[in-house]
Amino acid sequence: MEKIPFTKMHGCGNDYIYVNAMEHSIDDPSAAAIAWSDRHKGIGSDGLVLIDRSPIPEADYSMRIFNVDGSEAMMCGNASRCIGKYLYERGLTDKTDIRLLTLSGVKTLELHVMNGQVESVTVDMGKPVFEDENLYNPTIGKNLITPLPYKEEQGGISALFVSMGNPHYVIFTDDIDQVGDIGRKLEYHTAFPQRCNIEFCSIIPSSEGQEGGIRTRVWERGSGITMACGTGACATAVAAAFTGKAGRRSKIIMDGGTLDIEWREADNHVYMTGPAEFVFDGEITLNKLQTT
């Protein structure tokens, strides 16, 4: 049985298995994602990412991403940063500006390189969308119950739908650890025709000698609780700015690390900057694992 080379990478703890699909094809990536993502019987990850050539001239490369349940995701900000690092440091490109085709359109990666190493990546995540009948039914959504407790003095809207190419429902609450119990239920709520990613967020005000931010935990559609979510961080920053809880630049502090998000007024695009890291390389089949 053919062995498939892979690379394990993570962005703020959001870990995926990366396969160079330009050299190795996988007939059933959904099944592979389920088997290989198993943290006891496989490699262990939040899903599988395939890196390939772009079929259109507007992009340099393409990505497909499959969650641990085998479902295909539209986009992943953390994975896109890892792809930038992979392409550059593995010698597949010498570009520091890479156009990446996703199911949510073409995203531009700006690589920040020092001494031949990609230190961080800024991704142009595009414009946020607040209304999309294919992703969110606001009439049904009015019946969603916002978890408590929630500080009254924070004021305004306490939950907001934001699409960053995939659907997110951002909830501001003092108890972000509710994400497991409530996130798994809201993912399948009828307000979200294609299911939904759920963010639980708490504003951390700036104080003397300490920078503020937004503490966020994520329930990812198809994967459950993850250490970080790039599109979720963007949706959180946008929701906070839109509701007046923060400015247009925010530090989103997730379980696995911090992402810097800017919602630029000039072009209405959201820019995400953060790290990407290699973990290890290996070879795998569906029933046998060998790491190197």
Q: Active-site residue 12, yes or no? A: no
CB atoms within 10 A of CB 135: 21
Whether 229 sits among the annotated catalytic residues: the reply is yes
> Is the CB of residue 16 less than 8 Å from the CB of residue 82?
yes
Encode 220-246: b = buried (16+ Cβ within 10 Å), e = exposed.
bbbbbebbbbbbbbbbbbbbbbbbebb
Q: How far apart are CA 8 and CA 291, in angstroms?
A: 10
The encoded tokens of residue 276 equal 């990407």
How many whole angstroms separate alpha carbon 183 and alpha carbon 1?
A: 39
Backbone angles phi, psi at 133, to 5 degrees: -65, -20
The residue annotated as part of the active site, out of 12, 196, 201, 229, is 229
* Tokens 């049904």, residue located: 140
Catalytic option among 12, 76, 196, 234: 76
CA distance 16 to 150: 34
- By annotation, the residues acting in catalysis are 76, 229
